[in-house]
């Protein structure tokens, strides 16, 4: 069942479960994805963006070509504010930012890596929400200003606070603290590309 968060004549906001591909991947197994499930119900929908397979949360789809073109332009111009909730390893006491360029780690795809010579600019702001002494983990708000692949996961690992349950970037201790990646696309905020009205759509965090 598809969980629809909000829709109008132009846009559809839905919640992707964790551990499900956003769009088709390689081979027959890769054809089972969230977009394919959604298109069975609404064949006219247009893809706008994607989430990592392991990440849950808010995705937006366009209902027609004009809306797709308009919202894609907002993403390109970085006029859409994205917020994620995560639980990371260790304690973070203060807000901050991570400004580290990223590129594909080609021998270890799909992993990404920090590379100051060839990486693309990547900026993430973070703000601690609460600390759990039992698991030694911090719930944080992550606000990426760029949209690189695995950006939040690599940036948090790079400052010594990998996201719990991250099979690619967490050490064995942090990985075993959760049965899933504790990263959720929580909200999207922008001016509606067709009506000009402000939109703030949020998705409930499942962890």
Residues 100 and 168 in one domain: yes
Query: Quick check: is 207 in a domain?
Result: no
Q: Establish how many alpha carbons lie within 13 A of residue 58's alpha carbon, considering only the half-sphere containing its beta carbon.
A: 23
Structural domain total, the chain:
2
Task: Answer yes or no: 10 catalytic.
Answer: no
- Please indicate, yes or no, whether residues 159 and 93 belong to a single structural domain of this protein: yes
Note down the domain range covering 118.
82-183
The per-residue pLDDT string of the chain (207 residues; one tens digit each, 9 = 90 and over) reads 789 999 999 999 999 999 999 998 777 767 789 999 999 999 999 999 999 999 999 999 999 999 999 999 999 999 999 999 999 999 999 999 999 999 999 999 999 999 999 999 999 999 999 999 999 999 999 999 999 999 999 999 999 999 999 999 999 999 999 999 999 999 999 999 999 999 999 999 999
132 within some domain: yes
Say which DSSP state 44 is in: T
Question: Which residue among 3, 8, 52, 99 is the active-site one?
Answer: 52
138 domain-assigned? yes
Q: How does pLDDT run across 100-151, given as a tens digit for each residue?
A: 999 999 999 999 999 999 999 999 999 999 999 999 999 999 999 999 999 9
Calculate the alpha carbon distances from 168 to 20, 77, 95, 181 in Å. 16, 29, 25, 10
Q: What is the CATH number of the domain that holds 27?
A: 3.30.2350.10
Residues 34 and 51 in one domain: yes
Instruction: Determine the Cα–Cα distance for residues 148 and 67; give it in Å rounded to an integer.
Output: 23
- Minimal CA–CA distance to 151: which of 55, 75, 76? 55
């Amino acid at each position: 069942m598809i969980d629809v968060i909000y829709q109008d004549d132009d846009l559809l906001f839905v919640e992707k479960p964790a551990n499900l591909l956003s769009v088709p991947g390689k081979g027959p197994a890769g054809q089972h994805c969230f977009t394919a499930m959604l298109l069975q119900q609404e064949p006219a929908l247009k893809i706008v963006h994607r989430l990592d397979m392991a990440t849950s949360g808010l995705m937006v789809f366009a209902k027609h070509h004009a809306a797709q073109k308009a919202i894609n332009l907002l993403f390109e111009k970085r006029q859409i504010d994205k917020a994620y909730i995560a639980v990371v390893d260790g304690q973070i006491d203060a807000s901050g930012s991570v400004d580290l360029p990223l590129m594909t780690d080609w021998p270890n795809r799909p992993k990404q890596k920090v590379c100051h010579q060839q990486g693309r600019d990547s900026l993430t702001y973070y703000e601690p929400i609460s600390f759990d002494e039992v698991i030694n983990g911090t719930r944080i708000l992550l606000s990426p200003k760029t949209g690189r692949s695995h950006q939040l996961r690599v940036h948090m690992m790079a400052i010594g606070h990998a996201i719990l349950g991250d099979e690619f970037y967490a050490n064995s201790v942090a990985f075993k603290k959760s049965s899933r990646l504790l990263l959720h696309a929580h909200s999207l905020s922008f001016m509606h590309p067709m009506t000009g009205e402000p939109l703030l759509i949020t998705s409930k965090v499942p962890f």
